[in-house]
Structure 1
């Protein structure tokens, strides 16, 4: 069912949001069956791309990561994505009453997970870690995630579209702040706790 919803989000998101609203999965189910699989995509892709192909800014002079250095970084990144989804879901649930929402926390987790699905899938681009290519794919994924957010909030939250627009904007702000925070934490982590060892390409 989750795979069907993912495909539906690409072709008819408004209809798919209505179907998701009628399915009430537990938080454990969403994280173990959905987030666990989605978060593995960018983590594994980055591990393979950085250790087997190597990073490059211009398409030349590739720099690889040592396998034993990249592995803990990939694992940390995997669980950081779990934490990101959980934090955004909590913020959505905390803010919903301000905008007239009365849904369960499970629905907030579903909203956060399906909205972020394009971002998770864009992680496949890390198999070929060329900077301009990854940035382009990432920007496209962000744009589509924003579209899913603005179409999904009025359906999932069951609130009028005028309030849904403001609520979606608030969620978007939280999401962007979370993303920036994760990037900053990653830089700090890689420079202190999990230092990265580079090898020649």
Structure 2
């Protein structure tokens, strides 16, 4: 099962990348048995915490989201995560030819690299059960840093790119990820203006 790769991403990523390369799972299999499951962690935990626990800013009153508002926002978040992994994986495959790796049928290796590299970010979603902004920020920053390392570490194994080129390729991949992040922020503002503005409950 693809979920069995999770421990290896933290304990022995080099060995795990080689196993992923040999496994060469199809993008659809990766989506249904890995991404679709792990991508739900953050939205589900955020839904529970923002509707049941709530949060405070400083000494302010307890704030929660309405169930309907939280459901809408977290479904959209889930869609954005799944689409983001696909887009990043496709871009990795497309750019890999520039850095000395051949095109892979259906971008399987690129999507695998994107999916497994995002494992720390997926698991960081559990932090959403404790809806304190600064705690969540620190957890996601640490997860993002380790995900960046996993991309760099996985490039020579999965795409057979030389290590000296992997450094620059990793920078290009992270730039694409940053562009997507900014795009989702802009998209969030647009969606809120279309009537999906968060509805808060105070006290």
Structure 2 CA distance for aligned equivalents of residues 57 and 156 of structure 1: 44
Q: Is the 2:127–2:136 contact (alpha carbons within 8 Å) kept by the matching residues of 1? A: yes
CA RMSD of aligned residues (A): 1.4
Q: Name structure 1 gaps, 5 residues minimum.
A: none
Aligned to 1:181: 183
Q: Which residue of 1 aligns with 2:87?
A: 87
Matched, 1:96 2:87: no
Structure 1 residue 60: deviation in Å?
5.2
CA shift at 1:164, angstroms? 1.2
Corresponding residue of 1:163: 165
Q: TM-score, normalised by structure 2?
A: 0.94
1:59 to partner: Cα distance: 7.1
Greater mean alpha carbon deviation, residues 40-49 or residues 191-200: 191-200
The 3-state SS of whatever aligns with 1:64 is strand
Aligned residue in 1 for 2:49 = 49
**Alignment gaps of 5+ in structure 2:** none
Q: How does 1:1-201 map to 2 (within 5 A)?
A: 1-58=1-58, 61-104=61-104, 105-201=107-203
Distance, in Å, in 2 between the alignment partners of 1:60 and 1:52 is 17
Question: Is the 1:9–1:16 contact (alpha carbons within 8 Å) kept by the matching residues of 2?
Answer: yes
Q: Deviations over 1:31-69 (max 9, x none)?
A: 111110011100101111111111333375321000011
Once the two structures are superposed, what CA deviation does each residue of 1:85-105 show, in whole Å capped at 9, x if it has no partner? 111111111111100111521
The separation in 2 between residues aligned to 1:121 and 1:60, in whole angstroms, is 29
CA contact (8 A) 2:3 2:33 kept: no
